[in-house]
Structure 1
Amino acid sequence: MDVPNERSSHERPILRGLGLAVLIAMTVSGVVAVIALSVASAGFGRWDLLLLVVIGAFAAGCLGLAEDLRGLSVGVRSTCLLLIAFVIPVALVLLRQYPLASVDFGFVGGSFLGSGAGEFALEPLPFWVTIALVPYAVLFISSYINVANFMDGLNGISGFHGVIAGCAFAAAGFLSGLTWLVLAGLILAAGFAGFLPWNLSKPGAFLGDVGSYLLGGATAVTSFAALLAGVPVLATIGPMVISFGDVGVTLVKRVRAGHKWDEPHKEHVYQRVQQLGYSHVASSSMTAACTLAASLLGLASFFVAPIWWVALLCGGLLVLAGYLSLPRLLGGRAGAR
């Protein structure tokens, strides 16, 4: 049971840990999708990349489950996060250079010549790019798992985020011809869509750390894998802009105010909106609407020349600025009433 504490926005104990069901559903469907890709007679693409996405999400979810059941020290939890954020990206970089899915094992699709052939038409990465990508991935993935955990503070907010991020990745996969990315996105979206009714109906239930770590891991690993596969960078980060911005700005404000960054609090933008008198669903929906807008701006990069990506990036930052201003804007209106 989740007992209300300093960072809680609920007022009574509520069942937590339902993210375990999402973890099981996403893992099973992910394994089925990997097998389906590997045996597809027409050769639909990179089952090896999808497999790593499934493994990365599963590892993150299991770490969250351990935190829920037993509690982990900061050192152990941080070490495990860094291991996940190092091993999975290194494996993804290696598979980009040497695709396992192009090897004929006899029981899989072999060297694909069908609709997935374009997924192998990637130039090898320069050595310096490979070296730079690994530390970036470690920081990016480990940070976002924590970010997703920090943002899991209202009914609906994580479920909406998972659905939007998953749909955005599926759309990016469709636009870039990457079947594995379409499947990864749909699995993410479906997993958290299935959780929403349990979260939003009475008496309600929470994801717990198992679900928030799963959301962060699945989103970040899918984003990095898509970047390696040639998806425009703005499309890979669009679903994550609002969450990164909320957590980053809130932590900076707290440090500047003399607070410890890791102390429990209720100062995130979405929490401050809810404290103005808006319901959990209303506040979560505002966050989701901004996440959707940033995701659509990212997907727009498929349709314009790279020279216009700066304009799309500025648009995303404007959306973030509007989101960060919500407590002040909505508070002013409440005061006027």
Structure 2
Amino acid sequence: MVEAGGDRNLMGVLAAGAGAALTGAGLTWVLIRVLHHFGVVDAPVARSLHHQPVARGGGLAVLVALAIGVLVGATLGSDYHAMGASWLLASTVLYGALGFNDDLTSLSARFRFAIQVVLGFLVALVGTILTGWSPVWALFAAGALLVAVNVTNFMDGANGLVSTHTVVSGLWLAVLALTADSPTTALFSASLAGAALGFLPFNAVAPKIFLGDVGSYSIGAALTAAALVLAGNGVPIAALLAPFLVYLLDTAYTLQLRIRAGERWYEPHKLHIYQRLITAGWSHLRVAGTVSFVAASMCLLTLPMLLDAPVPLQVVTAVLILAVAAAYLRLPVWASAPVPWRKAAT
């Protein structure tokens, strides 16, 4: 999946992002009405941060807009690898299909997990055939998809959070792909960012629609698949992990605190850092902006590693990344969020 680049690739990528954004906005507007008509809505429960039924399944619009964005970019002349683009899109659609099934029928946790494992190995196997990944790397790819899909789903609990983060992450991966001469991945990543941007206005303020599992699953899979391709093209792992770190930090920190506090870690809850900030009085938009700002900061702090800067500068930026991570984890305390643990853990 390594391709040659050029000026037309940049134009194709920009057109793909714009086309996906416009398509995403139009499709979301239509989908809101369709989902309400068929009763596909998210009714508030005890762990919800919303209070009125909202259409669920907006990720369908993101998926279709993503595919159209890739098609627009390819049509306008951007270089692309047909099999590579097909693998990226198929991987995203497979996870999206599982998520939409869960949106409609509420699959059991065990069955859903089993299918996620199977999909991870299937996607990794096809990726191995196309790229020549080693068996060890294929296992890593399957595990990365499993983790990313679930972590993205866990973080999809505040209006605009995953959508805004996807815009930042997609743009970052698109830039990395262009610098790595991987226009297929750049086209795909920019289209994903555009599709999320088109969806965002309907979800960020006074939300009319949620991504649903179809959205969080497909976005988690899309970002991970793109990052895996770029890792195979030699992009430093640190730069690829940067936009995901805030998700991983929030999930891992919350999980270990719940275990230490005697909570049943596998049960639904609203105890993530971002959820506790909302409980403390932060608006959904402020929380979404904070998470995306942390992700963008971590991305930019990896630039010295990407540019092979002097080692002392790389060490300084690594320390700054740790400082940003520590500050994010400390936010609930600074915001005077109530401590919900049965045992004092913070």
Q: TM-score, length-normalised on structure 2?
A: 0.80
Provide, for residues 54-75 of structure 1, a one-character-per-residue CA deviation record: whole Å limited to 9, x for no partner: 1111111111000001121223
Q: Quick check: 1:71 aligned with 2:106?
A: yes
How far apart are residue 208 of structure 1 and its match?
A: 0.9
Structure 2 residue aligned with 1:82, among 100, 111, 117?
Answer: 117
Q: Structure 1 residues 11 and 228, CA, compared in 2 at 3 Å: closer, same or farther?
A: same
Q: Structure 1 residues 159 and 311, CA, compared in 2 at 3 Å: closer, same or farther?
A: same
Counterpart position of 1:133 = 137
How far apart are residue 232 of structure 1 and its match?
A: 1.3
Provide, for residues 85-141 of structure 1, a one-character-per-residue CA deviation record: whole Å limited to 9, x for no partner: 1122222233223xxxxxxxxxxxxxxxxxxxxxxxxxxx6xxxx132122222211
State the SS of the aligned residue for 2:335: helix
Counterpart position of 1:246 = 250
Provide, for residues 189-208 of structure 1, a one-character-per-residue CA deviation record: whole Å limited to 9, x for no partner: 01100110111244521111
State the SS of the aligned residue for 1:15: strand
CA distance in 1, matches of 2:88, 2:122: 12
Counterpart position of 2:68 = 28
How far apart are residue 297 of structure 1 and its match?
A: 2.1
CA contact (8 A) 1:96 1:229 kept: no
Q: Quick check: 1:8 aligned with 2:48?
A: yes
Q: Structure 1 residues 180 and 314, CA, compared in 2 at 3 Å: closer, same or farther?
A: farther
Structure 2 residue aligned with 1:231, among 230, 235, 246?
Answer: 235
Q: Structure 1 residues 48 and 297, CA, compared in 2 at 3 Å: closer, same or farther?
A: farther
CA distance in 2, matches of 1:50, 1:182: 10
Whichever residue aligns with residue 324 of structure 2, its letter is V
Q: Quick check: 1:49 aligned with 2:84?
A: yes
Provide, for residues 130-177 of structure 1, a one-character-per-residue CA deviation record: whole Å limited to 9, x for no partner: 132122222211011000000001111011111011000011012222
CA distance in 2, matches of 1:45, 1:24: 19
Q: Quick check: 1:164 aligned with 2:168?
A: yes
Counterpart position of 1:108 = none
CA contact (8 A) 2:245 2:295 kept: yes
Q: Where does structure 2 lack aligned partners over 5 or more consecutive residues? A: 1-40, 338-346
Calculate percent identity across the aligned residue pairs.
32
CA contact (8 A) 2:97 2:214 kept: yes
Q: Where does structure 1 lack aligned partners over 5 or more consecutive residues? A: 98-124, 333-337
State the SS of the aligned residue for 1:182: helix
CA distance in 2, matches of 1:182, 1:28: 14
Counterpart position of 1:222 = 226
Q: Structure 1 residues 76 and 322, CA, compared in 2 at 3 Å: closer, same or farther?
A: same
CA contact (8 A) 1:60 1:84 kept: yes
CA contact (8 A) 1:175 1:302 kept: no
CA distance in 2, matches of 1:306, 1:51: 39
RMSD between aligned alpha carbons? 2.1
CA distance in 1, matches of 2:182, 2:207: 40
Q: TM-score, length-normalised on structure 1?
A: 0.82
Counterpart position of 2:263 = 259
Larger CA deviation: 238-247 vs 298-307? 298-307
How far apart are residue 328 of structure 1 and its match?
A: 1.0
Q: Quick check: 1:17 aligned with 2:57?
A: yes
State the SS of the aligned residue for 1:331: coil
Q: Structure 1 residues 55 and 314, CA, compared in 2 at 3 Å: closer, same or farther?
A: farther
How far apart are residue 310 of structure 1 and its match?
A: 5.5
Provide, for residues 16-74 of structure 1, a one-character-per-residue CA deviation record: whole Å limited to 9, x for no partner: 111111112213333555x649xx6xx93533222211111111111100000112122
CA contact (8 A) 1:172 1:181 kept: no
